[in-house]
């Protein structure tokens, strides 16, 4: 009996040491993350920003922001022209673009801190999330789940339930990245385009996986939007979320805005009122706005800025 108790006490000590080590490592990783974030913020704050006589706006998103097929008439370009005309100045308002064509909220979030430093905006308009359903670049969780979806059902089910917990614990996030670096040795962040897409279309396997995991993807999208808002705020700029003209993700964009108290520009109601919606989007994919569609979005943004009195020039 004494021998068994001795073993139990020994195991207890080992568990205690492991728990303390785990907690200390978690604290160290969180401290490193905080220092890194503050350092990034310092770089941004030290950069030259807009003067009282000028405003810098950064439009964040993917091809819908970049203006696929009409890059020279994208909404950011039209917005700069419209705002400078309304406020009667030649170049007092500058609108830059940070768009990752085909990107999702994970890839946008990963690159947003550097974009903030590069562009040094006063206001950031974020319209992102539509591609999250079927494009998983930089999204380690979805890549792991998809890889094990049918090959390893047990591992898949375990990870599906643990993923939200893992994302909140730094040590487990590091372990996840290490695991992924071995599973996807070519680049743990990039989507496996060659095996997922054929002639620009998503394969049936990806469509099936995306549809089954729509709720998981939606939660991930909302979390990423909230993290983007934090990045913008940490760097001293004003975040504004903006919905697409239509799409499944608009509900999550509204939820993220409401839960964080972030300003929201809602484009969907404007397009819903149109009697001839198809005249404002490209027939090529029945999705991306054409020049007329972007003009509607720009007018909606300008109306919002005027209503909220966001532009104050001396």
- Distance, in Å, from the CA atom of 50 to the CA atom of 58, rounded to the nearest integer, reads 12
Supply the DSSP symbol for 152.
-
For residues 249 and 130, is the Cβ–Cβ distance under 8 A?
A: yes
Is the same domain home to 117 and 261? yes
Span 267-280, average pLDDT: 93
Q: How far is CA 68 from CA 65, 71, 285, in A?
A: 8, 6, 11
- Say whether both 125 and 222 belong to one domain: yes
Q: Which of 31, 46, 61 is the last residue of a domain?
A: 46
Enclosing domain of residue 95: 51-134+217-308
CA distance 15 to 41: 39
Q: What is the mean pLDDT of residues 104-119?
A: 92
- Rounded percentage of the chain residues whose pLDDT exceeds 70: 76
pLDDT bracket for residue 39 (50, 70, 90)? low
pLDDT band at 65 (very low <50, low <70, confident <90, very high): very high
Regarding whether 65 and 163 lie in a shared domain, the answer is no
Q: How many domains does the chain have?
A: 3
Dmax over CA atoms of the chain, in Å, equals: 89
Residue 266 within any structural domain of the chain = yes
What integer pLDDT is reported at residue 274 of this predicted model? 93
> Lowest-confidence range among 44-48, 236-240, 290-294?
44-48
Q: Which is higher by pLDDT, 290 or 196?
A: 290
Q: Where is pLDDT greater, at 267 or 37?
A: 267
Average pLDDT over residues 43-66: 73
Instruction: Please report the pLDDT score of residue 245 as a whole number.
Output: 94
Task: Give a yes or no: residue 193 inside a domain.
Answer: no
Compute the C-alpha angle 268/67/192, nearest 5°: 95
pLDDT of 48 reads: 47
d(Cα 265, Cα 140) in Å, to the nearest integer?
A: 30
14 plus 121 within the same structural domain = no
């Amino acid at each position: 009996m004494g021998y068994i108790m001795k073993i139990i006490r020994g195991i207890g000590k080992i568990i205690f040491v492991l728990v303390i080590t785990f907690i200390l490592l978690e604290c160290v990783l969180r401290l490193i993350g905080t220092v890194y974030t503050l350092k990034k913020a310092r770089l941004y704050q030290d950069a030259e920003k807009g003067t009282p006589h000028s405003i810098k706006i950064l439009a964040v998103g993917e091809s819908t922001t970049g203006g696929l097929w009409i890059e020279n008439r994208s909404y950011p370009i039209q917005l700069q022209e419209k705002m400078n005309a309304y406020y009667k100045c030649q170049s007092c308002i500058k609108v830059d673009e940070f768009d990752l064509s085909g990107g999702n909220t994970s890839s946008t979030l990963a690159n947003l801190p550097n974009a903030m430093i590069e562009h040094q905006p006063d206001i950031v308009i974020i319209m992102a999330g539509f591609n999250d359903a079927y494009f998983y670049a930089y999204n380690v969780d979805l890549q792991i789940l998809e890889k094990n979806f049918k090959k390893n059902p047990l591992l898949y089910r375990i990870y599906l339930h643990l993923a939200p917990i893992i994302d909140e614990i730094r040590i487990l996030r590091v372990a996840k990245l290490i695991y992924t670096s071995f599973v996807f040795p070519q680049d743990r962040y990039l989507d496996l385009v060659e095996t997922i897409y054929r002639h620009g279309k998503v394969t049936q396997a990806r469509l099936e996986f995306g549809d089954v995991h729509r709720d998981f993807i939606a939660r991930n999208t909302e979390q990423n939007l909230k993290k983007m808002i934090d990045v913008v705020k940490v760097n001293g700029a004003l975040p504004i979320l903006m919905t697409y003209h239509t799409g499944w993700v608009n509900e999550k964009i509204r939820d993220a805005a409401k839960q964080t108290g972030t300003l929201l520009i809602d484009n969907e109601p404007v397009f819903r009122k149109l009697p001839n919606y198809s005249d404002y989007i490209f027939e090529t994919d029945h999705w991306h706005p054409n020049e007329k569609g972007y003009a509607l979005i720009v007018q909606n943004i300008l109306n919002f800025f005027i209503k909220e009195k966001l532009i104050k020039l001396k």
